[in-house]
Chain A
Amino acid sequence: MKIKFFLRVFFLCVVSALASPSYAQSGAGADPRSLIDALSKADFGEAEKLIGQLAATGDARLVPALNAFSEGDLYFRKSDNLVFIGKVSGSSYELTDPVTGASAGQAAKNAVTKIKINNSLRRVIRSAMGGLTLMSPDRGIRLQAADAVLRSPSAENLELLETAISKETDGEVKARMVEARAVSLLSSDRSIDEKRAAIATIKNYGGRNAIGILMGASASLDPSLKADVDAAIASIESGQRLWDIGQNVWYGVSLGSVLLLAAIGLAITFGVMGIINMAHGEMVMLGAYSTFVVQQVIRDSAPGLFDWSLAIALPVAFLVTGAVGLVIERGVIRFLYGRPLETLLATWGVSLILQQTIRSIFGPTNQEVGNPSWMSGSFPVGGMTITWNRMWIIAFSLSIFVALLVVMKKSSFGLNMRAVTQNRRMASSMGIKTPWVDAFTFALGSGIAGIAGVALSQIDNVSPNLGQSYIIDSFMVVVFGGVGNLWGTLVGALSLGVLNKFLEPSVGAVLGKILVLVLIILFIQKRPRGLFALKGRAVEA
């Protein structure tokens, strides 16, 4: 009985030794093809081991196969359990050999089965691929590989990294590799001194990730290193504190720029013209839907232009919403000048109609508006993370603001516009065609709301309800800043944004928002005409 048990254990050890990396690495019969084929029957746990063995072959030819696996493009043929990389073509799959990359013909959809993958496997693959591509001749791939190893460190990659570092010539890649080596070293069985040096290296790199790495490693490290780890974490954290404040300001400015975008069209239709324009939000929505339509057309007819889709959508959205604005002004609002509160009712009706129109045409569900590549992802600035889309939105909203300011102050249209809103009768007796100035002013406000919609489609839902979620905030911004003052809208939007973001961490998002509303109410008591109020007798008249 006992012997039988021993035998069984012995047997298991041998089998696992046979399959273990060290064995495979020694080169005896670790055929990559059979390892890959074994994936067809493996569960997640077994697949993880197989990937380890594949990585251990050091065979760079396997990279496409691993990549395909992590993308979910690896299939096995039901008839013979052979594994291939599959790409959909029509109703069947185009198969290629995972090792050689040679074409292996086609297979019907039901003749192959996808090999299941999950997050843990993807993590293992990332690390394995990192190891395999560390020596790639392509600098970009090496950098990616170093990143991959850094994000999923494993002691197995340590020697590989050291070899790679010794051969590396590019400074940035080398630095990344050194960092990755330090991180990998912490989980290895190297000496305490080496580990201490690694901790110092990580500390020098700093940032949130470094804290995570150190905290994660501290449990398994030798107790004598604990003091070093704690000191390193404390030093990184103290450096991070200022950056955190900076980050918060950035978030605030970015929220402010979104508010500015949403409100700036309203600053014209409501602020300058005095129309309580409840359909403003729907103009933003129409702009977002214009973006969607433009992207659809581009996807169908000229996919290469996708990165330009937003640039193309801008004038389209401006014209579409401007035209709709023109129609609304001519059809409804022009009968209501001098009756501001009634514009509220009529434009509320308009907003219901526009919402339902969009719902009838596009359906009630969200539409997908893609981010062009230059608006995806993020980059670090010191201890801060800046996302590209937020950065572009801030730049975009400020440039709209400046452009609008120039139109209002410098162009003859702007002059006419100000003349009409200040004294309609006088302007008309001076030969200004006031009805058209009104119409185009409203169209301008609507058009600007439309291009705001283009930008907002990048960060929010594109659904018929889009406008509703911005309308209240927009009114708050314009009123807070002072009706009729563009600068007020700018300062109002940014200060509400920053205020919101500074309240959020301490009281939570919900209470933060409530507090901001209460502060606006109190502020209006102090300054009943907003931040940038016009003073003097003219206001009362």
Chain B
Amino acid sequence: MNMISETRQKSLLYLENVSVSFDGFKALNSLSFVVEPGELRAIIGPNGAGKTTMMDIITGKTRPDTGTVLFEDTIDLTKKDEADIAQLGIGRKFQKPTVFESHTVWDNLELALNRSRGVFATLFYTLSPEDKARIGEILETIRLTHRSQEYAANLSHGQKQWLEIGMLLAQEPKLLLVDEPVAGMTDAETAETAVLLKEIAKTRSVVVVEHDMGFIRELGVKVTCLAEGSVLAEGSIDFVSNDPKVIENYLGR
């Protein structure tokens, strides 16, 4: 108890006893989970372990039946909707790369830029030199400078994943939730993505959900293993992958 209250003081994201069920199926079962500022955290777990549902709850897409979800110790995320939460500084990358395919790469980033998002502000928005510079910077980071004027639909799968990460960067979030960023990537792309994420994690917290153990090993960070809607084990990758429960539930299969 004491420990928890202590962690509460400095946590960026704090989940306690979160449960949610769909038509009787318990997707999350008193899940508790904490992310500290500046932390890069990996989450693993078998299908149906509740990884995506957890992200849905953090980002306001799903409301938990019970439990507490706090951002920066004070903000109750269960009372906010997606847009509020995004504006608070939580960015989310989907499992399937989700970019605006009928926009150019540049426009995708322009939309994501952390500027006033009101109806009239966007109507009368004009691109300032700083914004241009910022987009250019991100383009460099995600290595898409040479394709900035192309439609996102024409990008390769890996490039779409990067573009999406780039959009999250443009959003300037304090916490980045990344769902399976290397699914369907070549080995080279995977490696490069690991570098990218580590780079990003220097300035903000990142939570990565991933199946690819090699990738997680490459990240070299604290790992949380979920199963059946609650935390099974937490610690370094070696610690977790040696946990017998984890082996039985996940790795062994």
Residues of A in contact with B (beta carbons under 8 Å apart): 535-537
Contacts and interface: CB of A to CB of B under 8 A. Distances in A.
B52 A537 contact: yes
A426 to B, nearest CB: 15
A536 B25 contact: yes
B6 interface: no
Contacts of B25: 536
B135 to A, nearest CB: 30
Contacts of A536: 22-23, 25, 27
The dominant DSSP class at the B interface is mixed
B183 to A, nearest CB: 15
B53 interface: yes
Nearest to B22: A536
B184 to A, nearest CB: 16
A535 B52 CA distance: 15
11 contacts: A535-B22, A535-B23, A536-B22, A536-B23, A536-B25, A536-B27, A537-B22, A537-B27, A537-B52, A537-B53, A537-B56
Interface residues of B, number: 7
Contacts of B22: 535-537
Contacts of B53: 537
A536 B21 CA distance: 8
Contacts of B52: 537
Contacts of A535: 22-23
Interface in B13-35: 22-23, 25, 27
Interface string B141-178: 00000000000000000000000000000000000000
The dominant DSSP class at the A interface is loop
A537 B52 CA distance: 9
A536 B52 CA distance: 12
B216 to A, nearest CB: 24
Interface string B224-253: 000000000000000000000000000000
Nearest to A540: B61
A537 B54 CA distance: 12
Given A535-B23, A537-B52, A537-B56, 8 more contacts: A535-B22, A536-B22, A536-B23, A536-B25, A536-B27, A537-B22, A537-B27, A537-B53
Interface in B26-52: 27, 52
Nearest to A534: B23
A536 B22 CA distance: 5
A404 to B, nearest CB: 23
A11 to B, nearest CB: 95
Nearest to B95: A541
Contacts of A537: 22, 27, 52-53, 56
Nearest to B25: A536
B249 to A, nearest CB: 21
B244 to A, nearest CB: 30
Contacts of B23: 535-536
A537 B56 CA distance: 10
B47 to A, nearest CB: 12
Interface string B48-86: 000011001000000000000000000000000000000
A540 to B, nearest CB: 8
A229 to B, nearest CB: 61
Contacts of B56: 537
Q: Top 10 closest A-B pairs, CB basis?
A: A536-B22, A535-B22, A535-B23, A536-B23, A537-B52, A537-B53, A537-B22, A536-B25, A537-B56, A536-B27
A536 B56 CA distance: 11
A60 B53 CA distance: 87
B106 to A, nearest CB: 29
Interface centre among B22, B25, B56 (most CB of A within 10 A): B22
A537 B49 CA distance: 13
B15 to A, nearest CB: 18
B28 to A, nearest CB: 12
B39 to A, nearest CB: 27
A535 B56 CA distance: 14
A537 B25 CA distance: 12
B41 to A, nearest CB: 22
Nearest to B52: A537
A492 to B, nearest CB: 20
Nearest to A536: B22
A535 B25 CA distance: 11
A535 B53 CA distance: 13
A9 B251 CA distance: 121
A526 to B, nearest CB: 16
A535 B24 CA distance: 10
Contacts of B27: 536-537
B101 to A, nearest CB: 15
Interface string B108-146: 000000000000000000000000000000000000000
A308 B47 CA distance: 58
A530 to B, nearest CB: 15
Nearest to A539: B22
B23 to A, nearest CB: 5
A537 B22 CA distance: 9
A317 B98 CA distance: 47
B81 to A, nearest CB: 15
A13 B93 CA distance: 108
